[in-house]
Every structure is written in structure tokens, then in C-alpha cells.
Structure 1
Amino acid sequence: MIYCFDTFYGEGYAKTAVVGIEKWDSSEPDFELSDTIQEVNEYESGAFYKRELPCLLSIIDKLPPINPDKDILVIDGYVVLSDDKKLGLGGYLFNELKDKTPVIGVAKNNFFTLNKLKKEVFRGESKKPLYVTAMGIDLQDASSLIFNMHGKFRIPTILKYVDTLGRSIY
């Protein structure tokens, strides 16, 4: 299963949504779940993972057991933050999952300390790329998978869907 995650923050809470798809080019989810946490860490510049990682781990605990040989996790954000492999949210998640389950990060904004370990992915007719990073899977393969996801716009259909699911009132 390909699990795609996104977290939305409200006043005093965080809602994390996950959508599962069996195939990269799926236009509809095969599985969806959301989870709301009432106590959320404050945002800390340079340490975003401290805020969002507990949200991801909470919802992962509610999923069927992750199979590192078959499942892939896609997050909204970066897996690494620099070419010397400073961990981003996805890297910390990869470590929490015992460095076995592949994690792909898809970010909408560029992170300028990172050049070699990210790929720009231009989808549809967009002149603005998505920025892909990964651990546990080859970066070129991860970029190709994101490029080939369903949808003719910059943001793949399923990633847009999980974002909308996360933003819906809980």
C-alpha cells in the first residue's frame, strides 16, 4: 500500500489524514483515515519534526501493520534538509520505522541548503516544481513515482485529496 499523509494545524489541535492507494496512478483512495491530537507541540524553527512526527506516529499506530517490503509512505515535506543528510521530518519518520519502510517527501517550497539529494518534479503544465526527497528508495525512482501519480496538475490528485481531508472540520 502507498500511504500518503498530511497534517493540518488548528487552534490547539492537529489533524492528520492518511490516504492509501494500491497503485501510483490511482485517482481514488482505497483507504482513508484521520486522527486528531489535542495537545500539539509548538512550532520550533529548524525542528519542525518535533511538532509533526508525533502526529504521524499516532496515525501510523492506527493503521494495519506496515510491511516494509511492500508499503511506501509519502509525506508532505522533506526527508532530508541538506546534502550532508541533515534529517527532515521524513528522515526522522524513517528512523522511527527502523530504517526499513521507504519514505518519500514531497514539498511545495524549495529548501536552498539542499541540492544533490532532492529532485525537482514538474507535473502537468506547471512551471513550478515539486521537490522530492527520499530514504529507503532510490531518489530517481521516487521522483518518477511522484511524476506518474494521477492528475494533470502540479499536485497529484491523491495528494490534493489527503490535504483536503486533513483540512476538513473534525
Structure 2
Amino acid sequence: MLAFMDVCYHDSGARAAAVLAEHWLSATACAQQWVDIEQVAAYQPGAFYLRELPCLLALIQALPKMPDVLVIDGYVWLDGRQRPGLGAHLHQALAGKIPVVGIAKTAFEGADHCSLIKPVLRASSMRPLYVSCVDCDLQETAAWVQQMHGPHRIPALLKQADTLSRTPWPHAATDLQGSQDGTV
């Protein structure tokens, strides 16, 4: 099972969302999960993970079962010196018990020439996605990302996680967590 995760910020809070799929090539999610976080840390340049990591950990805690692989919107490694990105911090926070894959939409300085980051072109796009990972093979993971379902640059499952994270969050303070099993 793979969990494709994303976070969207609203005012002082955030919604962290995941779509779960059986395989990299799945066309649709088999389940989805989200958590609404009322208060998040302020953005700190150069330390984005301090804001997003608690949101992802809250989401993972809400999952009914730990997935085999976590896929984030972002980087695992930021450069060839193994400077940790959000994915590496997530892997460390989970005591290295689960592989983490990062799929970034924008180039981080030096990403094109880093052996820990693989640019991946999808569909007819000339703009790559940037794949990095920990505890899995980068070449194999990049090949899976390239083959993922969807006719556009952004694979369908990543787009579903993004859309779910952007849905308006509830107004009732008691509705802080939600899930849906089955076909989305």
C-alpha cells in the first residue's frame, strides 16, 4: 500500500490529506484520509519541514494501517551532500521504519545535477518532476513515477491528494478528522 500525501495551509491551520493506492500504477485511490490541524507553525525560510512535518505525522497517525511507502510532495534530499529535505526528516521521525519518496514539482538549486535526485519527464511535458527517496532504489522509484497513471505531468494520484488537501475544511471544531474507504 502506498500513501500519497499533501498539505494545504488555511489561515493559521492546515489540512493534511492522503490517498491510498495498492500500486504505483493504480488509476484511482482505494481509500483516502485527512486531518485538519487548527494551528500550525509559522513558515521559516530554510526550515519548511518544521511547519509541514507535524501535519504529516498527524495524518500518518490517523491512517488505519501504516502503508508500505509514503510519498510526499517535496524532496527527501536537497543536494548531493545528503542535506535533508522534508522526506528525510519524516523518515527520521518514523525511526527509519518506512521508505519515503519525494516527488517535487519545482527544481531546487542543484537538483538537476545531484545523484540523489532524479528528474523525470512525464507525458509530453518538458518540465520534469524531481524524485528523491530513502530506503528504496532511486532508479526503480523514478521509473514507477514516470509510469504512473495520468495523461499529464502530475500523476493522477498526486493530483487527487492535492485536491483533497485543498477541499474546504469543516467549520465545526469537532469535525477534525475524516476518512473514506472504497473507491474515490
Taking structure 1 as the reference length, the TM-score comes to 0.95
Alignment deviations for residues 5-59 of structure 1 (CA, whole Å, 9 cap, x no partner): 0000111111010000002111111010111101100001111000000000001
Alignment deviations for residues 57-87 of structure 1 (CA, whole Å, 9 cap, x no partner): 00100112326xxx11100000011111011
Kept in 2, the 8 Å contact 1:118–1:132? The answer is yes
Kept in 2, the 8 Å contact 1:100–1:136? The answer is no
| Among candidates 58, 67, 72, match of residue 69 of structure 2 | 72
Tell me the matched-pair count. 167
Matched, 1:28 2:25: no
Name the residue aligned to 2:83. 86
Alignment of 1:137-152 (within 5 A): 137-152=136-151
Divergent runs of 4+, >2 A: none
Matched, 1:113 2:110: yes
Amino acid of the structure 1 residue aligned with 2:61: D
Bigger Rg, structure 1 or 2: 2
Q: What is the RMSD of the two structures over their aligned residues, measured on CA atoms?
A: 1.0
Name the residue aligned to 2:12. 12
Taking structure 2 as the reference length, the TM-score comes to 0.88
**Secondary structure at the residue paired with 2:59?**
helix
Matched, 1:104 2:97: no
Gaps of 5+ in 1: none
**Secondary structure at the residue paired with 1:44?**
coil
**Secondary structure at the residue paired with 1:61?**
helix
Counterparts of 1:21 and 1:86, CA distance in 2: 29
Counterparts of 1:100 and 1:126, CA distance in 2: 34
Counterparts of 1:166 and 1:27, CA distance in 2: 19
Where relative contact order (Cα < 8 A, 6+ residues apart) is larger, the structure is 2
Amino acid of the structure 2 residue aligned with 1:104: V
